[in-house]
Structure 1
Amino acid sequence: MKIARGRELLTPEQRQAFMQIPEDEWILGTYFTFSKRDLEIVNKRRREENRLGFAVQLAVLRYPGWPYTHIKSIPDSVIQYISKQIGVSPSSLDHYPQRENTLWDHLKEIRSEYDFVTFTLSEYRMTFKYLHQLALENGDAIHLLHECIDFLRKNKIILPAITTLERMVWEARAMAEKKLFNTVSKSLTNEQKEKLEGIITSQHPSESNKTILGWLKEPPGHPSPETFLKIIERLEYIRGMDLETVQISHLHRNRLLQLSRLGSRYEPYAFRDFQENKRYSILTIYLLQLTQELTDKAFEIHDRQILSLLSKGRKAQEEIQKQNGKKLNEKVIHFTNIGQALIKAREEKLDVFKVLESVIEWNTFVSSVEEAQELARPADYDYLDLLQKRFYSLRKYTPTLLRVLEFHSTKANEPLLQAVEIIRGMNESGKRKVPDDSPVDFISKRWKRHLYEDDGTTINRHYYEMAVLTELREHVRAGDVSIVGSRQYRDFEEYLFSEDTWNQSKGNTRLSVSLSFEDYITERTSSFNERLKWLAANSNKLDGVSLEKGKLSLARLEKDVPEEAKKFSASLYQMLPRIKLTDLLMDVAHITGFHEQFTHASNNRKPDKEETIIIMAALLGMGMNIGLSKMAEATPGLTYKQLANVSQWRMYEDAMNKAQAILVNFHHKLQLPFYWGDGTTSSSDGMRMQLGVSSLHADANPHYGTGKGATIYRFTSGK
């Protein structure tokens, strides 16, 4: 069967990984362990090499699924495991492929006995239909290839050449994209299409060197009221395009996210080169996803502003205590002296005022009392009473926050949302007095102490608004209140399957636990109690574990790295030659060839020598988080436009994944890493990165010294 040649998706290393036979026990037990019937069929052959060859053909058809002639290498441990079951020498396989007819006769018999099916046009159409449906949900090529191979195995279809599968996946993905683009484009009105054209062709009024799309994609910068208002301006611009009417809710979330990421990388000139359906669809999906990101960023700025407000209050209190420390100590001394004088006057029945003036002059005493009144704070004081002056810094953006963002909650949090509506209404009407019947029960005790004026009934507008905004932040972060149009803070129900979808799919969940909560919690409770009983019975036998008076104690672990090992490690590092990071990266590229995976997105051409240098510079700029502009300034001979071009057209997601696969596979084959482990475990932790540019996610953390940075979650394998 001939299939039209399309684009190949995998590198040679990735093809080898797909066709490689693992040596783990699960694969051996599942696919390479023969039943009694299998052995009876295998043993019909007289010669050892034919018995072993037939058995190996049967095994590899089961997994990985290709014919024996397509498999380049079979691990010795697998051959030994198979030969041991049929009682022959593993070396007899060397004599098996003597006659090609024998190979095909055995394959024909296996197809007949085990109902394996040859991959023909009929199987191609069936598989393509399956892949097309999957590609509507997920356009990732590697994922589709895995699904394709699993589907063929499940239906006992002998796998064709892997390049055939690649081309089939490519065609299915292309057809799915075409269908998606047509679906989205048809739901757009002519007016909406004109607006979409406008954002990639028209210049922004206040920034003549940028298109509207470029303006919309600008990073937010550091969190501030001004940044908040800029984000809201972009959010309202997109909302003004009325894209919410476009019907995309029936499209799979994964596919929408993939197309959105694609849209975030394309510059306006790239969009202009696309066909209309593709251009409008990717733009629409990207802008709809961008509204979610902008909504999240807007509330994140509010989160940071509230944190900043409270932090400034604490610092103000600390500063007051620091400045007034000497005066407060002086007042304590005065209080002690006056107290002792009063005690003496009472015990000895002396004139109080004479005794008092013997320790402090009357005028000094009066001045001290007045000064103490100025220094005095409320009896149960905290820093919240110092925040009233900070109210107006919040007012720079909070009216816009409450006007633009819409909040929903469960019934338990309705009082909070009622308070939000009251403040929103006061902002619109210009009223200053908070209604006496405004809800206050949801406000914490700390804020309530400052909520009322001196008369005890009038609500202080400043403190009421600050308290509501603080409680709103806390409830949104806790998930009790959702934000309409947000991704990070959306309603919890949106994370779940709909009831209809769940009823249709729950029978195929393949979960190893009961879907009944009562059954599940009963089983877990029983299992937990059994383990507790075992622990109680064996606590004396466990190393470093003790159970005393109902308390479980674990001994502190000793240092993993002895001092001798640290010294030896330091001596090894001293032996390594000093090398520039740029030279090291070029050496790795030369050794592994990972740079060849950065093929051009439009013509699939590999980078030449000059382009490779530009790619390495772009990788360094991104990896060191200095950005392409500063990298261009620091690299003689390279311009920002060159770096931007390769990052746009060569450093897309698939290319990055392929390049990373080359590096991981190369590392996996090395002998030295095996001294650390086999790579089946990992250590995960947050890594603090100092940021040299303005970022919404940058914050100060005294634990890591001065300056702002961000914490990135990463992992290192045991190898």
Structure 2
Amino acid sequence: MSGFHQRFIGSTAFPKTLTDIDLGLCFRLSKEDVDALKSRYRDNALGPAVLLVFLRASGRHLENLTLIPALLLKYLSAELQLRQTSIASLKSLYKRPATLTAHRQWILENLANLAPATAQNLDELGNALKALATTAVSVEDLVKRAELWLLDNQLLIPHERILRSIAARAFEAETAAALEVVRVKVTEAHAHRALKAVFSGRKGRTGGTQLEWLKEPPGKHGLHSLREASKKIAFLKELGVHDWDLSAIGGERIRAYARAVVHRPPSATRLLAETTQMLEVCCFLRATLLEFTDNAFYTAGRHLNRLIGQGRGRVQSLRAQTAMEYAQQEQRVRAVIHSNDKTDRQKVETLKEMYPSEKAPPNLSGSALVRDHLAGERFAVASVLSAFEGIEIEGPDDDPALQLVQALRDIKAQNLNELPADFPLPTTDRVWHDLLKGDDRKRALGALQASTALAIHKGLRGGRLWVAHSWKHRNREDFLIPKDQWDRDRNKLTSAMNAFSDPKLYLKRTRHACEIGLRALSEALDAGRLEIHESQHISFPRLSPQDIDMQVERARDAIFKIIGPERFEKILIEVDAKTNFSEVILGRKAKSTRELIALYGAMLAMGTENDVAGVAAMIPRVELSHIAAAMRLLENPERVRAANDRVLVFQMEHAIAAHWGNGEKGSSDMMSMDASNRLFNARVDPRRRTFAVGIYTHVLDSYGVFYDQPIVLNTRQAAAAIHGAHWYNTKSPVDRKLQWLAVDTHGYTSIAMATAKLSGFDLCPQLRNMAERKLVLLHGMKVPENMERLKIQYISEKSIVQGWDEAMRVMASIHTGRVTPRELLERLGSHAAGSPMFKSLENLGRLLRTVFLCDYFSNESFRREIHTSLNRGESVHQLQRAIYFGRISPSRGRREDEMVAISGCHALLTNVVIAWNTHRMQQVVDRFAKEKHPIEDDWIAHMGPVHFSGINFRGTMDFAVEEYVDALLERASRRRVVGA
């Protein structure tokens, strides 16, 4: 059940108004219900019908009979074949409380399939909430989960006071359990020492406490930030934080406790109870150590990449200089050969002197020149290595990278500034041997440092090395299902994934799909729709633009002219009244207009280029401190994503949305947002030549944004693409799963292709590079005669079979939620090449790419559908740029939680505009249909809900909450607003 379907759960009264979508999703009567009500109550069935539909939608009995939406009364009267009645007649029907009680009892026993919760049921609920409390961040979260648990178990939801009491006990029990973990794993003595240390003052010009210093987010990606991160890691390790095993608390709860400390002044933290201080500060210190360890590795990797980039930039100039030297040398050789004053013997002796036999020719390859550059940047590489000095990097005992680290430590212990001549070369990569054996021993030491830094970087990225105190670089075995459990439950887990334990059965099916695709490709070549290019690749014609009737454009313009201009704040309130996304973010309905407007202001401060002060200036009667407090709620990604889901489902439930798509297809792409260079994760956008960060969005074929995440520019996006699609399929109902996802070249890798297929959907890349379009087949497969000129690569079935078991273990770990696809795929890049599991997924992905390419080349409609999906994503990006047209300020986005909140709020504001446009377009289309001027379905399919020219996103914003008090505020607060 989606969040939108759940929005009435726990209510005790109807909202003042209902939409057709609310009626269709939450308050329908089945034919069996109608027959039962009519046979039991005859002409008095309307009252019980109202009680029934409300009970099913909310899980509670209706308490207020004076507020029943007219739309619902009209629908129920029509279904029961009764004259449309009024609320007064319902009130008169239930003048006697006994009648109301009897009707409720009969409905419970015969139609609603709900039973009152007994004391035993409430005890079971308490035990369930104790388990759920490990991932909850507040009591409100547990109250909502309790309501869902009761409905799933077909139980009536009791009074909110009872649920809140049970949830509070469960939350307190989880807090007590977390505190016990701290007492056991940290010990009270170490915790008190840590508290004393973090509240102590700092020496130096800046002053302040150690806690304030630790709370400072990382600065821009410079060596100063790297050194600062190393200092913080060293400080935390002195306190022994790296030895604290708080995994029993859970990552989300640790982050929640850490966020509480971050958002609170140190003086306020000191006023807390001693046990609360101990729990929250210890979790904060642990989370800070893990976060800064990841930041140190990331910044060190960026410096390595910068040095490599500088080396590549010098390659061209060095090659040009070398070419000039060779030209000069050639002239000298010619002068010797053609000299008339030397004998032949003298010429030979002169040439021998110019080209001595013991001197090897220089290596002029690009990689060799880059390595030579790195060897010369000895002090810059040493600065990068200093980030790794205080961190215990672990891995297999025979790993060369760890041996190199130990060798460098021994050299440093001996205070040597050059590499000893007897250094054992077998521990290093062979490509470095020439530099390590050179006469310049200082340069040889630089080469050793560079090879060590690169080996560590590749080992951590590929998963061969790990660090215990890290979020992202933990031991890969911690991410996967334990080996003994996998050996025991292999068949059950693969069956749950609809996968094959036997790889040969899967390859048999894939081989058959390849053969069908090759036949379709051969037929397209025979028909002349395709041709083989002289480069031995398939060449296909460009897609021609579709002819769109001018009447479609005129109809679209007429629709949006009728909709007219609107202010952004009005759109926010109107969509919130229909979806209650503010209730999801707050965990309850707002208690006052001030709280609600502050939340809207926080969304604007996070999701647009305005900062807190700018938003406070735009909204009258709201204080800056209230907006800042509301912004902390938005750093809970689960709540923002649940709010997004509500708006998305509301948009998709409109009838016209079905003309755009049914939610089974989507696309994903990155949008760069300008940012300050002071953000440590900002990179230069190669197109606009400005610093920026990436926001990766997933867009459905019906235009809604169903997932968003911040990523780093200029990195492969395949992990983010698979992650978002997998999340959507995990949360969506069975009849609305994503079938395929269109991406560009950056969102594709062979391993991602295989992971997507094994996760239940197809990755459909629009490939740019011709080399990526090469067909790959299994050995023994026959190619049609007219395709023999193609450049085809063959792989062995053995390369897939050997690593299949480990690949299935990886996929089962994703399927069971032990690891996210993004976490795992970021470990399976080129740095992980060489393992049997990597080869299995890589070759399977290349084989699946062949199946896809056969369809892509031979089926023009399929190719056009992929282009259309990607173009819809681009149109959504245009709307997103209209909402966020500036740049991220240096004061925001420096913490990962802030970047996630910026991305989530931006997507939420985008979906609000798309949902509002869809709703208004539906109203106009329905009006035209009633006036006997219906708009053709084909016309609607070419109109998108991303129109924004009539929306005013800026200026003074006056939130007229009074118009929607009933839908947006708690019942106790509505009377105060109306009275005011």
AA of the residue aligned to 2:371: L
AA of the residue aligned to 1:647: A
CA distance in 1, matches of 2:498, 2:624: 54
The farther-off stretch of 199-208 and 559-568 is: 559-568
* Residue-by-residue CA offset, 1:526-580 (whole Å, 9 max, x unaligned): 543454465567668999998999998876555579798999899999999999x
Is the Cα–Cα contact under 8 Å of residues 221 and 696 in structure 1 kept in the other structure?
yes
CA distance in 2, matches of 1:169, 1:70: 26
Which structure is larger by alpha-carbon Rg, 1 or 2?
A: 1
* Residue-by-residue CA offset, 1:80-117 (whole Å, 9 max, x unaligned): 9xx9xxxx954349689785567755654565569842
Shift of 1:486: 1.5
Shift of 1:69: 7.7
CA distance in 2, matches of 1:59, 1:353: 111
Is the Cα–Cα contact under 8 Å of residues 61 and 67 in structure 1 kept in the other structure?
yes
TM-score by length of 1: 0.70
CA distance in 1, matches of 2:617, 2:54: 54
The residue that corresponds to 1:518 in the other structure is: 501
The residue that corresponds to 1:448 in the other structure is: 433
The alignment partner of 2:496 has SS state of coil
| Equivalences for residues 366-445 of structure 1 within 5 A | 378-380=363-365, 382-398=369-385, 400-410=386-396, 414-431=399-416, 432-434=418-420, 436=422, 438-440=424-426, 443=429, 445=431
The residue that corresponds to 2:694 in the other structure is: 711
Structure 2 unaligned segments of length 5 or more: list them: 356-360, 705-980
The farther-off stretch of 214-223 and 538-547 is: 538-547
Is the Cα–Cα contact under 8 Å of residues 581 and 644 in structure 2 kept in the other structure?
no
The residue that corresponds to 1:647 in the other structure is: 628
Is the Cα–Cα contact under 8 Å of residues 200 and 268 in structure 1 kept in the other structure?
no
The farther-off stretch of 172-181 and 481-490 is: 172-181
The residue that corresponds to 2:81 in the other structure is: 91
The farther-off stretch of 377-386 and 585-594 is: 585-594
**2:515 pairs with 1:528:** no
AA of the residue aligned to 1:351: N
CA distance in 1, matches of 2:153, 2:380: 66
The alignment partner of 2:478 has SS state of helix
Is the Cα–Cα contact under 8 Å of residues 229 and 397 in structure 1 kept in the other structure?
no
The residue that corresponds to 1:296 in the other structure is: 294
1:257 to 255, 271, 280: 255
Shift of 1:428: 2.3
CA distance in 2, matches of 1:539, 1:318: 42
The residue that corresponds to 1:470 in the other structure is: 454
1:666–1:393: structure 2 CA closer, same or farther, 3 Å change rule?
closer
CA distance in 1, matches of 2:340, 2:152: 106
The farther-off stretch of 168-177 and 108-117 is: 108-117
| Equivalences for residues 499-578 of structure 1 within 5 A | 512-513=496-497, 518-519=501-502, 521=503, 524-529=506-511, 531-532=513-514, 535=517, 557-559=543-545
Shift of 1:461: 2.0
AA of the residue aligned to 2:407: I
The residue that corresponds to 1:487 in the other structure is: 471
* Residue-by-residue CA offset, 1:643-667 (whole Å, 9 max, x unaligned): 5674246532488877887787578
Is the Cα–Cα contact under 8 Å of residues 260 and 285 in structure 1 kept in the other structure?
yes
Shift of 1:606: 4.3
Is the Cα–Cα contact under 8 Å of residues 675 and 691 in structure 2 kept in the other structure?
yes
Shift of 1:449: 3.7
The alignment partner of 1:226 has SS state of helix
Shift of 1:135: 1.0
* Residue-by-residue CA offset, 1:400-434 (whole Å, 9 max, x unaligned): 334312222246x6222112111122112323434
1:351 to 333, 340, 343: 340
The residue that corresponds to 1:6 in the other structure is: none
Is the Cα–Cα contact under 8 Å of residues 600 and 650 in structure 1 kept in the other structure?
no
Structure 1 unaligned segments of length 5 or more: list them: 1-10, 356-361, 371-375
CA distance in 1, matches of 2:214, 2:74: 57
1:78–1:321: structure 2 CA closer, same or farther, 3 Å change rule?
farther
The farther-off stretch of 703-712 and 152-161 is: 152-161
The alignment partner of 2:306 has SS state of helix
The alignment partner of 1:482 has SS state of coil
AA of the residue aligned to 1:308: R
Is the Cα–Cα contact under 8 Å of residues 494 and 501 in structure 2 kept in the other structure?
no
Is the Cα–Cα contact under 8 Å of residues 402 and 420 in structure 1 kept in the other structure?
no
AA of the residue aligned to 1:332: A
Is the Cα–Cα contact under 8 Å of residues 4 and 649 in structure 2 kept in the other structure?
no
1:585–1:607: structure 2 CA closer, same or farther, 3 Å change rule?
same
Shift of 1:126: 2.7
CA distance in 2, matches of 1:78, 1:135: 43
The farther-off stretch of 138-147 and 266-275 is: 138-147
* Residue-by-residue CA offset, 1:346-397 (whole Å, 9 max, x unaligned): xxxx936699xxxxxx9xx99xx99xxxxx9645563332333311222235
Shift of 1:151: 2.9
The alignment partner of 1:266 has SS state of coil
| Equivalences for residues 64-75 of structure 1 within 5 A | 65-66=59-60
| Equivalences for residues 100-499 of structure 1 within 5 A | 104-105=101-102, 108-109=105-106, 116-139=114-137, 144-145=142-143, 147-160=145-158, 165=163, 168-181=166-179, 183-184=181-182, 188-199=186-197, 201-244=199-242, 246=244, 248-320=246-318, 324=321, 332=327, 335=330, 339=334, 351=340, 378-380=363-365, 382-398=369-385, 400-410=386-396, 414-431=399-416, 432-434=418-420, 436=422, 438-440=424-426, 443=429, 445=431, 447-454=432-439, 460-498=444-482
The farther-off stretch of 303-312 and 262-271 is: 262-271
CA distance in 2, matches of 1:643, 1:48: 59
1:467–1:148: structure 2 CA closer, same or farther, 3 Å change rule?
same
Shift of 1:231: 0.9
CA distance in 1, matches of 2:48, 2:426: 80
Shift of 1:688: 1.2
The residue that corresponds to 1:16 in the other structure is: 8
Shift of 1:699: 2.1
AA of the residue aligned to 2:452: V
Is the Cα–Cα contact under 8 Å of residues 15 and 162 in structure 1 kept in the other structure?
no
CA distance in 1, matches of 2:81, 2:657: 29
Shift of 1:251: 2.4
Is the Cα–Cα contact under 8 Å of residues 668 and 699 in structure 2 kept in the other structure?
yes
The alignment partner of 1:45 has SS state of helix
Shift of 1:47: 6.2
CA distance in 1, matches of 2:133, 2:471: 23
1:693–1:571: structure 2 CA closer, same or farther, 3 Å change rule?
farther
Is the Cα–Cα contact under 8 Å of residues 202 and 208 in structure 2 kept in the other structure?
yes
The farther-off stretch of 240-249 and 486-495 is: 240-249
1:131–1:509: structure 2 CA closer, same or farther, 3 Å change rule?
farther
Is the Cα–Cα contact under 8 Å of residues 191 and 282 in structure 2 kept in the other structure?
no
The residue that corresponds to 1:45 in the other structure is: 39
Is the Cα–Cα contact under 8 Å of residues 598 and 656 in structure 1 kept in the other structure?
no
The alignment partner of 2:154 has SS state of coil
Is the Cα–Cα contact under 8 Å of residues 228 and 298 in structure 1 kept in the other structure?
yes
The alignment partner of 2:211 has SS state of helix
